[in-house]
Amino acid sequence: MARRSSMAYRMAQYQREAERRARAQQRAQLTAVRDAERARKAFERAQLLEGKEAKRLYLESRAAEVDAMNAELQAANDALETLLASTLDADDYLDFESLKVDPEIPPFQPGSLGVAEAEPRVETFMPPPLSGLGKFLPGAKEKHQQSVEAAVRTYESAKSVRDEREQQRKSAFAVARSAYDADVQKMTEQIAARNREIDEFHARFDANEPEAIVEYFSLVLDASSYPEGFSRRYRMAFVPESKQLVVEFELPSLVVVPTVKQHRYVKARDAVEESARPTTQIRALYASVVAQTTIRTLHELFEADRGTKLETIVFNGYVDTIDPATGKAIKPHLVTVRASRETFLQLDLGQVEPLACLKGLNATVSKSPSELVPVRPILEFDMVDPRFIQESDVLGALDERPNLMELSPRDFEALITNLFEKMGLETRQTQASRDGGVDCVAYDPRPIFGGKVVIQAKRYKNTVGVSAVRDLFGTMQNEGASKGILVTTSGYGKSSFEFAEGKPLELLSGTHLLYLLAENAGIEARIEPPDDWVDPVADTVSDEPSVESAAPTPAA
């Protein structure tokens, strides 16, 4: 019994032990499963957190992208709104000395040619001296002497080769130095020639040469910095008789004004949307751009004119664009103004409203610049084309063009009468004026715009006085005419233009007369007063000094 009990005990013990192992294994399995589940959930949480972080970073990048787009849009708007203000702090005067340059001579760099090769040292070739018992060996001294003599010969050969290389180096160095000196001299001469050209340019400018004056003020406009979208193209001409600068300036088209009001990021669609700027705002800003550009250009030119070369500036602003109705290229003028120095410099441009300022200057501005409604220029640029004011290359004796100053009074009267007939007017010549000029009454047959026109033409060498303009206006009123035209072979001063401002008067100078004759009557003429020419006294007395100037001479 006892044995069975012992066996039963051991069996029960083994069974309990097996059960304990099974439970422990089961617990280990459950622990592993729980650990795996915890690891899986931790991984999923990490992935979720990583996705949220990535999404957060992506949304931040899209928001930053939209902020940058809006900042760029705001910068573009600010640049257009401050076109005038941004140039007021800049000094537009162009110092001739600043155009000169000093030669920047680079240092001579010969490289290895500038380093001499070291001379060989005879010691490095010599055999070691005899020492110890070696000096007592038979023939040792003789052999050592032979070695010394051989070493000397080797040294002398190496020195000779080195000297030859050194001579070649020195020759190459001299060639390089000579080439460097030649380059420096050429550079110095070129810069000196450029600086002499600037001195000559300065001298021609001081001498009131039209080409030099146009070149100077062209450099002034070239130095002006405009936002992207402005063409920077213009034409310029100077009328010395009236000290008048005429600028034909290309304005930017309507596309220069951003049509987007704001950019917005829509997270639900992951898209950037644009809100359109109201059309009224686009048109208003574009009208302001046209006005600001006009005033800015006048300001830059007058501010740069410290030598008072200019009395008046005529600015014609046009757009080079496509007519949406026809698809053809057009160049309508959107603004035209004649400003005198005296009037313009009295303005406080930091406080003016651009459109109101132009109105105060009696400018003609398009009623709707955005719709390209054109205006008629105060002065057509082609009438002051440089071809009609440059000196002729043809010798006077060989020039077959008629000189208007040498025509008889009757021929001159017939020429003027014929010219305006060619231009579409019905002319009737009247009694000769007291100053030997031409007076005629003409009729413009066009409906609405037509009517009676009084025309006076005066062959003058000096500037026509303002009294002649006043007389024309009086004659026009006495005749009940709708317009008066004064033509002269010379030019007009500031007072004449100021008196004619806002009145139905048109003042045509000698350059205009030559242009009209060429374009309408096919007559290539010239204006060269004889040395003994004397202007009539009647109109030379005025409230402004008479300016002695050479009459314009057309190019051949």
Indicate if 433 and 359 belong to the same structural domain: no
DSSP H helical ranges for 390-483: 409-422, 466-479
Among 163, 187, 206, residue at a domain's last position:
206
Considering the domain boundaries, does residue 429 fall inside one?
yes
**Position of tokens 């030859």?**
164
Considering the domain boundaries, does residue 279 fall inside one?
yes
pLDDT tens for each residue of 303-313: 999 989 999 99
pLDDT tens for each residue of 98-130: 888 888 899 999 898 889 888 889 888 888 887
Indicate if 254 and 280 belong to the same structural domain: yes
Question: Rounded to the nearest 10 degrees, what angle do helices 279-304 and 210-222 cross at?
Answer: 130
Question: Rounded to the nearest 10 degrees, what angle do helices 279-304 and 2-81 cross at?
Answer: 60
Determine the structural domain holding residue 183 and report its residue range.
Answer: 101-206
Indicate if 192 and 271 belong to the same structural domain: no
CA distance to 219, 293, 455, per residue, from 368 (Å): 32, 16, 33
Indicate if 223 and 368 belong to the same structural domain: yes
Q: What is the pLDDT of residue 477?
A: 84
Indicate if 319 and 468 belong to the same structural domain: no
- CATH code where residue 514 lies: 3.40.1350.10
Considering the domain boundaries, does residue 283 fall inside one?
yes
Instruction: Tell me which residues of the chain have a pLDDT lower than 70.
Output: 1-5, 7-12, 14, 133-136, 384-400, 429-438, 448-449, 537-556
Considering the domain boundaries, does residue 29 fall inside one?
no
Contacts of 310 (CB under 8 A, 6+ apart): 243, 244, 245, 301, 302, 341
Indicate if 392 and 512 belong to the same structural domain: yes
Q: What is the pLDDT of residue 91?
A: 92
Nearest-angstrom CA–CA distance, 477 and 505: 11
Q: What is the pLDDT of residue 554?
A: 37
Considering the domain boundaries, does residue 166 fall inside one?
yes
Partners of 483 in the β-ladder? 453
Nearest-angstrom CA–CA distance, 476 and 58: 77
Indicate if 281 and 353 belong to the same structural domain: yes
- Using a 10 angstrom Cβ sphere, with 0-12 exposed, 13-18 middle and 19 or more buried, the burial of residue 347 is middle
Considering the domain boundaries, does residue 62 fall inside one?
no
Q: What is the pLDDT of residue 556?
A: 30
Indicate if 407 and 339 belong to the same structural domain: no
Indicate if 200 and 253 belong to the same structural domain: no
Considering the domain boundaries, does residue 177 fall inside one?
yes
Indicate if 446 and 397 belong to the same structural domain: yes
pLDDT tens for each residue of 280-303: 999 999 999 999 999 999 999 999
Indicate if 182 and 322 belong to the same structural domain: no
CA distance to 216, 429, 443, per residue, from 426 (Å): 43, 10, 5
Nearest-angstrom CA–CA distance, 378 and 17: 119
